[in-house]
Each structure stands twice: as structure tokens, then as C-alpha cells.
């Protein structure tokens, strides 16, 4: 790695203003993958994702209510997705790289193919769409038709620089639904930061808290820390599970505590205390299978599909050809500018393909099930960072409540772009 270009890059992030596209990174830190693709990780580990769908009274193996057993299973899957979302790219001594900045209307569709012998898992369709460019927002949906299971949500990031790290707040949420059970789980997105910038080996560390609110009332609080906080290890978490939000106000009410590393192993014990290292194994990430992601060959892709749209840029990044990278990027950016210009003249807006922008303050949405979940968890439904409560004085000036949501009917009616 060339030290001088790294140093000038560090200088550019020190004066960083929150707009990621303004970061000009040296070629060796560029990833040939669009940030849009990073949402595919919600769909890894089909087996864990669909497991709760078939957990009914008849399979109960202890005295716990089956709803609690299902929340524990959801948490298992959630830990596995944290591992792929935040640690998979740096496995094997790699470091985090700067992804391509998705354009408005960019889509990525694929399938996690069922590789089980008896084909009992079913395929999971991955349906991603860049619904906003400024600020960047991605809509995502993971659809497993065999188990009538849908995870959908959206994600937007805001970043700011501190002395040693790039700090990121996520906006948005995910909702996991087991339709046959009519059960939903609201999942908030944890804050994170990038460590190792000064040494040129950036990696993500999660921080603070995230929450999972089940429509059954059950409620989980996940607390994250890194090296040298309440543990000497990176990617550490503690998750307490309660009967409901109200019970969570006193830690002593925790029904279970799971703790360990979200990128490695975790143990579980009853009650509010961290299980000792001899606790019961909850999840061993090294044993979690992942299904194979099948993406259409680029020649069969539509020009809005990520890998086709970015093909030339990606090739140039792999070759390290800075001139071609910047020429090909400019072509995409100029085309986007021309589109926005035309929309402005025609007083029209880019039509989102599979996602709707829903205003929760409007009359017609007052009985919305998502609003109910936010209320149960005492989480703000305003456009504030994910997991923030209305009592947080930092965001008192925000009062909009518009959220992106997947529209399955639109996707089913899609004529041109298929998984
Ligand atoms: C949603 C995820 C998100 C996106 C990425 C911070 C980050 C962009 C956002 C939050 C996914 O569900 C989960 C995983 C990783 C997150 C990325 C890690 C990262 O480095 C980038 C930021 C924007 C950069 O690329 C900064 C440049 C840096 C790598 C150069 C040293």
C-alpha cells in the first residue's frame, strides 16, 4: 500500500462532511461492489431465517411459551445476519473497502438457493432497490415463499468523523414476518464505527444498542461493545430477553441472557446475568451454513441491475486502472444528472419500482401494524436514527414520519426484472 495516498485519504476523511460520495479514496481501498448489495446479507442462513415459521406448540421441548422459543430462534438468525453483514467481508485478513455509491433506481435481485437434500428450506428471493440517492437509502426484502416468510425494511446511513473513527448512524428498520403465524418482529439497526483507519485496515465495530420487538409482546435488548470496553474482545454483545418492554425497565426481570461474540460463539443462561463461559452454547457461527447466492449472468441483466450497471467500473477497480475507474464512474453520474434534470423540467419524479414511501402521520395509516410495534417498544416512529426513543432530546426538532416499505403486489406484477 502506498503510504502517501493513504495519508491524503485520511486527510480527506478528517474534513469529511457526511456525504460519502465526496470521499475520494485511493484505488486500493475501493470495492468493486455496490453498497446496494450489502443488504443481501439479511437473507443469509435460510435455515435459521425460516426456523420460527414451523415452531408451533407441538415442537415445544421445555416449559417456555412457544412465543418465547420463537423469539430466541429469531435472535439466533439475527446474530448470524450480523456476522455476515459486518464481519464476512474482513474474514481472512481482509479489511473493509469503500463500496460503490448506488444510483437512484439501481436494483439487485438474486436468490439464495435451497441446497438442503430434501429441499425443505425453499429459495429466498433477494429484492433490493436504491430508493434514494441524496441521502442514500436502500430498500430491501427477503422473500421465502415456501415458508411464507418475509423480511423487509430499509436502510440509510449518516456518517461523521471523530478523531480516530468514522461513526455511522443507521436510519430505518427491518420487519420480519411469519405470515402463517401472523407474527411480526420489528428490528432496529445498531450504530457502528469503522476502526483501524489510521493503520489502513478498516473494520466495523457495532456499538450501543439495538432492539427486537415481537408482536407477541416479547422484547429483546442487544448491547454491543468492542475491544477494551466491557470485554477485551471485539464484536462482543449481550442480549437480554424480557416478557415485554415494561419488564425491561428492571434488568432483574430478564428471562434469558445471551452473550458472546456475534462473529464467533455465544452462550445462553436463564435470568439477567451473563452466563459463565461454561454456559449452554447458543450459537457457534463457525457451524452456521450459508446458502448459495445465485445471481443471473450479467448478459441477462437489465441495465438498472447493479452488476451490469457497474461492470466497467468494477473491472477497472480490479485492474487498479484509476483513469478508467473515474471515466466510467463519470458516465454513470452524468447520466444520472441528466435524468434528474429531465425530471425537474417535466415536474415528475423517478418512479420507485417495488417500494412505497409511507407517511405514518397520515390518517389512513393510523391502524398500521408497524406503528403498533414502535409503540410497544417505546421507539420513535419519526425519521430519527434507528432505535432512538421520542424522549431523546437530541431529535426534538424532527417531526416527519415517512418510511419506505416493500410492496409485494408491485414485485409480483413486475414484468421485466426477475430474480
Ligand atoms: C447496510 C452495512 C452497512 C449498510 C454499510 C459504513 C459502510 C457503509 C454502510 C451499514 C448493511 O445492512 C450493513 C455494513 C457495512 C457498512 C459499511 C462499512 C463501510 O466501511 C462503509 C463506509 C461508508 C465506507 O465505505 C467508508 C470508507 C472506508 C472503508 C475507507 C477506509
Residue 346 has a pLDDT of 97
Q: Is residue 280 part of a domain?
A: yes
Low-confidence ranges of the chain (pLDDT < 50): none
Residue 369 has a pLDDT of 94
Residue 7 has a pLDDT of 79
CA atoms of 144 and 125, how far apart (whole Å): 6
If DSSP codes are grouped into helix, strand and coil, which group holds residue 296?
coil
For residue 102, the CA-to-ligand 1 centroid distance in Å is: 13
Residue 22 has a pLDDT of 63
10-48, pLDDT tens digit by residue? 777 766 666 666 666 777 889 999 999 999 999 989 999
Q: Which of the listed residues 248, 272, 294 is the one where a domain comes to its end?
A: 294
Q: Which of the listed residues 275, 294, 313 is the one where a domain comes to its end?
A: 294
Report the residue among 194, 200, 262, 386 best suited for mutation to probe ligand 1: largest number of ligand atoms under 8 A from its CB.
194
Q: Which of the listed residues 294, 310, 343 is the one where a domain comes to its end?
A: 294
**Residue among 128, 131, 203 at smallest CA distance from 168:** 203
Q: Is residue 259 part of a domain?
A: yes
Claim to verify: residue 120 and residue 27 sit in the same structural domain: yes
For residue 190, the CA-to-ligand 1 centroid distance in Å is: 13
Claim to verify: residue 172 and residue 54 sit in the same structural domain: yes
Claim to verify: residue 140 and residue 259 sit in the same structural domain: yes
Q: Which helix (H) or strand (E) holds 238?
A: strand 236-242
Listing DSSP states for 355-387 in one string gives: EEEEETTSGGGTT-HHHHHHHHTT---SSSSTT
56-95, pLDDT tens digit by residue? 987 777 889 999 999 999 999 999 999 999 999 999 889 9
Residues in contact with ligand 1 (CB, 6 Å cut-off): 20, 25, 29, 35, 38-39, 41, 85-86, 96-99, 155, 157, 166, 168, 170, 194, 197, 202, 204
Claim to verify: residue 282 and residue 173 sit in the same structural domain: yes
Claim to verify: residue 28 and residue 104 sit in the same structural domain: yes
For residue 154, the CA-to-ligand 1 centroid distance in Å is: 15
378 burial (CB, 10 Å; 0-12 / 13-18 / 19+) is middle
Q: Is residue 347 part of a domain?
A: no
Q: Are 226 and 238 in contact (CB under 8 A)?
A: no
Residue 11 has a pLDDT of 75
Q: Is residue 68 part of a domain?
A: yes
Residue 27 has a pLDDT of 78
- In this structure, are strands 208-214 and 219-225 parallel, antiparallel, or unpaired? antiparallel
Residue 389 has a pLDDT of 97
Q: What is the domain range of residue 168?
A: 3-294
HSE-up (13 A, CA, CB side) for residue 403: 29
C-alpha 61 chain-centroid distance? 32
If DSSP codes are grouped into helix, strand and coil, which group holds residue 332?
helix
Residue 21 has a pLDDT of 62
Q: Is residue 105 part of a domain?
A: yes
For residue 249, the CA-to-ligand 1 centroid distance in Å is: 32
Claim to verify: residue 392 and residue 243 sit in the same structural domain: no
Claim to verify: residue 399 and residue 286 sit in the same structural domain: no
CA atoms of 82 and 147, how far apart (whole Å): 22
Q: Is residue 178 part of a domain?
A: yes
Residue whose CA lies nearest to ligand 1 atom number 3? 38
Residue 17 has a pLDDT of 61
Q: Are 251 and 242 in contact (CB under 8 A)?
A: no
CATH number of the CATH domain containing 117: 2.40.160.120
Q: Is residue 313 part of a domain?
A: no
Q: Is residue 282 part of a domain?
A: yes
Give the chain's domain count.
2
Claim to verify: residue 377 and residue 278 sit in the same structural domain: no
First to last CA, the chain: 38
Amino acid at each position: 500500500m502506498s503510504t502517501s495516498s493513504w495519508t491524503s485519504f485520511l486527510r480527506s476523511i478528517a474534513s469529511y462532511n457526511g456525504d460519502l460520495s465526496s470521499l475520494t479514496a485511493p484505488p486500493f481501498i475501493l470495492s468493486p461492489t455496490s453498497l446496494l448489495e450489502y443488504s443481501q446479507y439479511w437473507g443469509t442462513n435460510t435455515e435459521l431465517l425460516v426456523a420460527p415459521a414451523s415452531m408451533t406448540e407441538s415442537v415445544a421441548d421445555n416449559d417456555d411459551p412457544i412465543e418465547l422459543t420463537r423469539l430466541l430462534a429469531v435472535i439466533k438468525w439475527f446474530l448470524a445476519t450480523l456476522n455476515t453483514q459486518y464481519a464476512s467481508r474482513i474474514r481472512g485478513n481482509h479489511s473493509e473497502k469503500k463500496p460503490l455509491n448506488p444510483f437512484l433506481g439501481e436494483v439487485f435481485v438474486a436468490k439464495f438457493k435451497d441446497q438442503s437434500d430434501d429441499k425443505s428450506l425453499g429459495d429466498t428471493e433477494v429484492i433490493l432497490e436504491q430508493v434514494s440517492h441524496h441521502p442514500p437509502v436502500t430498500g430491501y426484502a427477503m422473500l421465502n415463499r415456501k415458508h411464507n416468510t418475509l423480511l423487509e425494511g430499509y436502510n440509510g446511513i449518516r456518517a461523521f468523523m471523530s478523531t480516530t473513527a468514522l461513526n455511522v448512524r443507521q436510519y430505518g428498520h427491518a420487519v420480519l414476518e411469519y405470515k402463517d403465524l401472523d407474527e411480526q418482529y420489528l428490528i432496529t439497526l445498531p450504530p457502528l464505527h469503522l476502526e483501524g483507519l489510521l493503520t489502513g485496515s478498516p473494520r466495523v465495530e457495532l456499538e450501543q444498542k439495538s432492539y427486537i420487538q415481537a408482536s407477541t409482546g416479547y422484547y429483546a435488548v442487544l448491547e454491543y461493545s468492542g475491544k477494551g470496553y466491557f470485554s477485551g474482545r471485539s464484536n462482543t454483545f449481550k442480549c437480554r430477553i424480557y416478557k415485554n418492554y415494561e419488564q425491561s425497565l428492571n434488568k432483574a426481570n430478564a428471562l434469558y441472557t445471551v452473550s458472546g461474540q456475534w462473529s464467533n460463539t455465544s452462550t445462553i443462561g436463564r435470568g439477567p446475568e451473563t452466563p459463565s463461559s461454561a454456559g449452554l452454547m447458543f450459537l457457534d457461527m463457525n457451524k452456521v451454513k450459508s446458502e448459495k447466492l445465485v445471481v443471473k449472468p450479467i448478459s441477462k441483466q437489465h441495465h438498472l441491475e447493479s452488476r451490469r450497471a457497474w461492470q466497467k467500473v468494477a473491472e477497472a477497480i480490479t485492474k487498479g486502472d484509476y483513469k478508467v475507474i473515474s471515466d466510467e464512474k463519470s458516465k454513470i453520474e452524468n447520466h444520472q444528472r441528466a435524468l434528474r434534470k429531465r425530471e425537474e423540467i417535466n415536474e415528475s419524479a423517478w418512479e420507485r419500482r417495488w417500494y412505497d414511501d409511507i407517511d405514518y402521520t397520515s390518517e389512513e395509516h393510523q391502524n398500521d401494524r408497524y406503528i403498533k410495534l414502535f409503540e410497544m417498544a417505546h421507539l420513535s416512529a419519526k425519521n430519527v436514527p434507528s432505535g432512538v426513543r421520542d424522549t431523546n432530546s437530541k431529535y426534538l426538532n424532527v417531526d416527519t414520519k415517512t418510511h419506505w416499505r416493500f410492496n409485494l403486489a408491485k414485485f409480483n406484477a413486475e414484468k421485466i426484472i426477475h430474480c
